């Protein structure tokens, strides 16, 4: 007969007793749970930080009263924009989206240029789509 040696998910000790046990005791269980709660919190904090700093970059480019600004994509990278993270998107064309970090976003325009925009609601973005034709 095969004996399954289960290990505690926290400390790695071999667990004796019921086969559905995952931890050797309540201390290990709560330590494990606390550790994982923190990891999740850190991830969320890190990504929130990136999203907020992305928003600041876009905000710095769009001055007050200006609705859209065309800038080279590398300018955003220079300012520390992280293209991996965004909060939502809005379709521009079958192949392109506006990508937003909260209320600020951008469209991959053409030839390395991007268009920085504000999210002022769906009807605004619909009308922006008609004004802006990307290639
Ligand atoms: Zn343990």
Reported as a pLDDT band with limits 50, 70 and 90, residue 87 is very high
Q: How many angstroms is it from 26 CA to the middle of ligand 1?
A: 8
Near ion ligand 1, which residues have CB within 5 Å? 8, 10-11, 13, 24, 28
Least confident of 35-44, 65-74, 105-114: 35-44
Whole-number pLDDT of residue 65: 84
Reported as a pLDDT band with limits 50, 70 and 90, residue 69 is very high
Q: How many angstroms is it from 36 CA to the middle of ligand 1?
A: 15
pLDDT tens per residue across span 35-48: 887 777 788 889 99
Whole-number pLDDT of residue 85: 97
Q: Is 40 in contact with 33 (CB distance < 8 Å)?
A: no
Q: How many angstroms is it from 103 CA to the middle of ligand 1?
A: 46
Q: How many angstroms is it from 14 CA to the middle of ligand 1?
A: 8
Distance CA(119)–CA(135), nearest Å, equals 22
Contacts of 87 (CB under 8 A, 6+ apart): 51, 100, 101, 102
Joined tokens for residue 51? 């999203």
């Amino acid at each position: 007969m095969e004996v399954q040696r289960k290990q505690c998910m926290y400390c790695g000790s071999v667990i004796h007793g019921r086969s559905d046990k995952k931890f050797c005791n309540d201390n290990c269980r709560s330590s494990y749970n606390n550790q994982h709660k923190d990891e999740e919190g850190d991830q969320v904090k890190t990504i929130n930080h990136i999203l907020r700093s992305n928003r600041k970059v876009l905000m710095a480019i769009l001055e007050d009263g200006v609705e859209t600004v065309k800038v080279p994509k590398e300018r955003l990278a220079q300012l520390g924009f992280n293209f991996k993270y965004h909060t939502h998107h809005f379709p521009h064309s079958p192949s392109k989206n506006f990508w937003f970090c909260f209320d600020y976003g951008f469209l991959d325009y053409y030839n390395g240029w991007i268009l920085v925009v504000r999210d002022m609601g769906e009807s605004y973005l619909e009308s922006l789509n008609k004004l802006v034709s990307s290639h």
